[in-house]
């Protein structure tokens, strides 16, 4: 951003939009609790299930602050709902990694900062 070269912003915007629209689960017919989470590594982006350990919203937050884009805010809120459903469990539907806990806490702090919602 400091260079003033619009190519860098365009690249960041494309990456953020791809992450929000392709790498994020927006609907799951069998596991609706997965909506809002980002897919792990897999074939065609969604060969595995979404998990908190791979749901990084930092770039979305930066993009939202730079543009005020409403779609970005909606996806951040969707991820926040996913994070609110996260819990420590031995259920394999949830990731048990420390990165999952860190992403969840950081994501919820971002969501509070943006929306002021206390839930």
**pLDDT for residue 92:** 60
Give the model confidence (pLDDT) of 57-74 as tens digits: 999 999 999 999 999 999
DSSP 37: P
The yes-or-no verdict on residue 87 having pLDDT over 80 is no
Mean pLDDT computed over every residue of the chain = 87
Q: Which residue has the tokens 């939009």?
A: 17
Section 34-44 average pLDDT: 82
Section 16-33 average pLDDT: 90
The Cα-based distances of 50 to 8, 13, 95, 106 in angstroms read 28, 22, 9, 17
Section 91-108 average pLDDT: 76
pTM: 0.85
């Amino acid at each position: 951003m400091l260079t003033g070269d619009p190519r860098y912003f365009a690249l960041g915007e494309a990456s953020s939009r791809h992450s929000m629209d392709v790498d994020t689960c927006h609907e799951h017919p069998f596991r609706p609790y997965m909506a809002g989470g980002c897919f792990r590594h897999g074939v065609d982006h969604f060969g595995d299930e979404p998990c908190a350990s791979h749901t990084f919203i930092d770039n979305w937050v930066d993009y939202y602050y730079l543009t005020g884009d409403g779609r970005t805010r909606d996806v951040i809120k969707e991820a926040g709902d996913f994070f609110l459903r996260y819990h420590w469990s031995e259920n394999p539907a949830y990731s048990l990694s420390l990165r999952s806990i860190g992403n969840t806490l950081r994501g919820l702090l971002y969501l509070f900062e943006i929306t002021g919602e206390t839930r």
